[in-house]
Amino acid sequence: MVLVFAETQKGKLKKAAFEAVTYGYRTAQALGSECVALVIGAAEDAGQLGKYGASKVYQVEDPALEKFDSQTYTRAIAGAAKELDAKVLVLSHSTTGKSLLGRLAARLDAGSVPGVNAVPTTDGGFKVRKPVFSGKAIAEMEIKTDVKVLSLMGNAIQPEVVGDNVGVEALSVPVEAGRITVKDVERVEGTVPLPEAELVVSAGRGMKGPENWGIIEELAEVLGATTACSRPVADTGWRPHHEHVGQTGIAIRPNLYIAAGISGAIQHLAGVNNSKTIVVINKDPDAPFFKAADYGVVGDLFEVVPRLTEALKKFKA
C-alpha cells in the first residue's frame, strides 16, 4: 500500500496534498497496489482526496497534534504507516515534509529519497528520480528497503482527477504525548514561508538601497505574495538572509516569480528557474534574466512596480 501524508493549513488541504496524492496514486498503479491518504487534525475537504486517487482517507486527531511538531507528527505518521502496513510513504517536499522525512525513515527502518520529481519505475527495482546540482542533472536512485519514504517536489506533478470523493475514517495511533521533549512556546503569524509560497515578489541590487523596499512590500501585499531577494542584497544586510534565493539560498518553485532589478546570474536562476511563470522587470534590455522570463518589462522598476501595484489594486477592487 502507498500511504500519502496530505498536509493541511488552517483546516484545509494544501495544494501540495493534491499533488502528493496524484503522485501516490500513480505510484500505487505502477506497483499494482492501493493508495490511501492520511490527514492529521481537522480538514473539512479531506474527502476530496478520493478524486485524486486515494481509495480511503484516514484522519488522526489528538490534542497533542494540534500544532505541528516533528516529533509528535513522526510518531503519528509512523504509527499509521505500521498500522496500515504501508510499503511506500509519500510526503510533500515542504518545510514540514523535509523535517519529517529523516525521522520517519529512521522509525520505519526505511530507505528515503527527498525531493523526487517523477513517478517511480518498478521493473528491475524501485527507482526514483530527483534533480541534482541545482537542476542541471537528474539522478536515478534505487531504494532497496522493504519500506520506502519519499518527499515530492512542489509543482513536479499536476494534480489529476481520477475518481470521486471518498469517506474519511478515524484512525487511532499512539502519539505518546508524554514523551514530547520540545515545547511550542509561541507562534507568530507571518507570510507563507518561501519554500511553500505560490507567489513571490523578489528584488535585487537594482533597488539601490534597503530604504526603497516599500514598493516591493506593497506589491507583495496586494498579491498576497512572499518577498525574496538576490544574494548580494542579503549579504549587504539590505534584507534578511532567509529571503535569499538561488544556488546558495533557498530554491523555490512558486506559480509566479516577479523579479525586479535582478540581473539573472546563473547562481540566482538555479534557485528560481523552476517557477511556473517568471516576470522580469529590468531597465537593461540585455539583462540575462530576460532569457528565462515568460514576461519581461524593460523599464525603471521605480516606475513599473508602483504602476503594477496600482493596476492590481484596481483589478481587485
Q: Which residues sit at the interface with ligand FAD, rule CB under 6 A?
A: 204-206, 230-233, 246-249, 261-263, 265, 267-268, 271, 281-284, 287, 300-302
- Alpha carbon 26 to its chain centroid, in Å, reads 19
Angle at 184 between CA 181 and CA 4, to 5 degrees: 80
Which of residues 80 and 252 has its CB atom nearest to ligand FAD in the complex?
Answer: 252
Q: What's the rounded Cα separation, in Å, for the pair 5 and 151?
A: 10
Which of residues 284 and 294 has its CB atom nearest to ligand FAD in the complex?
Answer: 284
Which of residues 97 and 261 has its CB atom nearest to ligand FAD in the complex?
Answer: 261
Q: What's the rounded Cα separation, in Å, for the pair 196 and 8?
A: 12
- Residue 44 CB, nearest approach to ligand FAD (Å): 39
- Residue 136 CB, nearest approach to ligand FAD (Å): 14
Q: Can you spell out the DSSP letters for 29-80?
A: HHHT--EEEEEES--TTGGGGGGGT-SEEEEE--GGGSS--HHHHHHHHHHH
Q: What's the rounded Cα separation, in Å, for the pair 249 and 241?
A: 8
- Residue 193 CB, nearest approach to ligand FAD (Å): 17
Please state at what angle helix 95-108 crosses helix 70-83, rounded to 10 degrees: 50
- Residue 48 CB, nearest approach to ligand FAD (Å): 37
- Residue 161 CB, nearest approach to ligand FAD (Å): 37
Which of residues 81 and 281 has its CB atom nearest to ligand FAD in the complex?
Answer: 281
C-alpha cell recorded at residue 317: 477592487
- Residue 91 CB, nearest approach to ligand FAD (Å): 25
Phi/psi-derived region of residue 177, left when phi > 0, alpha when psi is between -120 and 50, beta in every other case:
alpha
Annotated binding site for FAD: 205, 230-231, 261-268, 282
Which of residues 75 and 253 has its CB atom nearest to ligand FAD in the complex?
Answer: 253
Which of residues 169 and 284 has its CB atom nearest to ligand FAD in the complex?
Answer: 284
Q: Can you spell out the DSSP letters for 250-312?
A: B----SEEEEES----HHHHHHHTT-SEEEEEES-TT-THHHH-SEEEES-HHHHHHHHHHHH
